[in-house]
Chain A
Amino acid sequence: MVVAAVMLSVGAVLAWLLWLARDVQARIATARRAGALALVLLPVWLALVVFYAPIEASQGVLQKIFYVHIPAIIPTYFGFSLAAIGGVGFLATRDERWDHLALSGAEVGVVFCSLMLVVGPIWAKPAWGHWWVWDLRLTTTLMLWFIYVAYLFLRSFAFGSDTARTFAAIYGIAGIAAIPFVYFAVDLAQGSTMHPSNPSREGLPTEMGQTVGAGMVAFIWVFGWLVARRLELAALQARALTPRVEGV
């Protein structure tokens, strides 16, 4: 049921963002509802973290960082997917709106990716004694971060022009194509992992699963709201660049 809720949220946010990107200025009011939803979901999630989720045996209270670290995964990959989808859309149609979607997805995605890379060590240091561990998941997230950042650098250095947008779209596609190989490569390079093994395979206690699920759903809507706002900004800035010559 948790999985269903998460998938539903992803689908809903994706559909909404794709719809919103078509005419941001006119449709941005819907963002308020998304924001409101997020504002409702967040305290629910926090309440679950504090009162509902049990204290785990081996790590004690520290384990509760889990509920803020894991939910950031989906927005991280969601953002990159939007960048790739936007890139393909732009290459196919040359419509600027696709590019705005790509940029917004990438920017918000890199925020969540950075969060994962900061919160991970905050957990790792007290739990395992090291700030950083070269394990599969953290390393892959770091590589993803590098790809994101490279993408954003490329955009900023190439100036806003169709050339820049085309190049960025291509790099976005190359980036997402590389990710499965990066995952496999890091796995190969590591051998063993210090990262806590995937709980769902071990059977997470229901309360924990539900709390993580609540966090995931909340973060997905926060992500959606942020992307919407970023889309709005992109549309505003694009308007600023076009000369006010065309009629209507």
Chain B
Amino acid sequence: MSGPRIAAAVLQKDLRLDLRSRDRLGHMAVFALLVVALLSIFAPSASAERLAWTPALLWVVLLFTSLLGLARAFQSETEEGAIALLTQAPVDRGWIFLGKAGATLVALLGVELWTAILFTVFLDVDWTPGLAECAGAGLLGAVGLAAVGTLLSALSIGVRFREFLLPVLLFPLVLPILVFASKITAAGLGGGEVRSQVWVAFALYDWVFALIGYFVFDGVLED
């Protein structure tokens, strides 16, 4: 079985699991709802202030919600002991990483859409002025979070204090995602401009970490 086919197979399996059990997706959706609802209760009501904070707030909510999903990225494999099966696949294991990260990407895109709706409902955010920018930031952000998150999730399998370790490992590495995405979102909503270097850096970041994940996954699965 060729590399891309394996990746597709892993992707499909995970998506099917996600949609069937609705555990992971459901938990992330409810979590996002809870956080946004709470925020809207004590968020500043003046619309200028609120607008200034919205992009940062959005990405913080997305970060924590993704964390929930990432912690479970390899849950099905560890529970069913399927990791051993994966490692026996006679193929470049980087493709397994891509499949896994792909599934996470889809889940994250779904979460983003849901969170955007929540922000509209609870915080009166109008996405239309900056739809293109926000969508772009959303896509690049989801790819980055999926790549880095899937890698780190794998790195922390079976490690003690994983609920503590995963965020500690993740947050410093994804700061660039948060900054780039919120800057672009802010520019989109407020009608400002973002230098093209930001887009380039963002895309480069995603590319670099996708590559790193792809190349080192061999080492990760060795056990």
Please indicate whether A and B come from the same complex rather than being unrelated chains. yes
A contacts with B, residue count (CB < 8 A):
29
Known contacts being A91-B216, A173-B212, is A143 close to B156, with CB within 8 Å? Answer: no
> Which of A171, A175, A178, A182 neighbours the largest number of chain B CB atoms within 10 Å of its CB?
A178
In the complex, chain A residues whose CB is within 8 Å of the CB of B198? 188
A114 contacts the other chain (CB 8 A): no
Contact of B216 among A150, A157, A170, A182 (CB under 8 A): A170
Inter-subunit contact B220/A188 (CB<8 Å): no
Interchain CA distance A182-B178 in the complex, whole Å: 10
Contact of A185 among B155, B159, B179 (CB under 8 A): B179
Expressed in whole angstroms, the minimum distance between the Cβ of A117 and any Cβ of chain B is 14
A233 contacts the other chain (CB 8 A): no
Expressed in whole angstroms, the minimum distance between the Cβ of B18 and any Cβ of chain A is 25
B165 contacts the other chain (CB 8 A): yes
Identity of the chain A residue whose Cβ is nearest the Cβ of B167 in the assembled complex: A150
Expressed in whole angstroms, the minimum distance between the Cβ of B102 and any Cβ of chain A is 19
A29 contacts the other chain (CB 8 A): no
Identify the A interface with B (CB < 8 A).
Answer: 91, 143, 146-147, 149-150, 153-154, 157-158, 162-163, 166-167, 169-171, 173-175, 177-178, 181-182, 184-186, 188-189
In the complex, chain B residues whose CB is within 8 Å of the CB of A167? 155-156, 159, 220
Identity of the chain B residue whose Cβ is nearest the Cβ of A142 in the assembled complex: B172
26 contacts between A and B (CB under 8 A): A147-B173, A150-B165, A150-B168, A153-B169, A154-B155, A157-B161, A158-B160, A166-B220, A166-B222, A170-B151, A170-B220, A173-B212, A173-B216, A174-B212, A175-B172, A177-B209, A177-B212, A178-B175, A178-B176, A181-B176, A181-B205, A185-B179, A186-B179, A188-B183, A189-B179, A189-B183
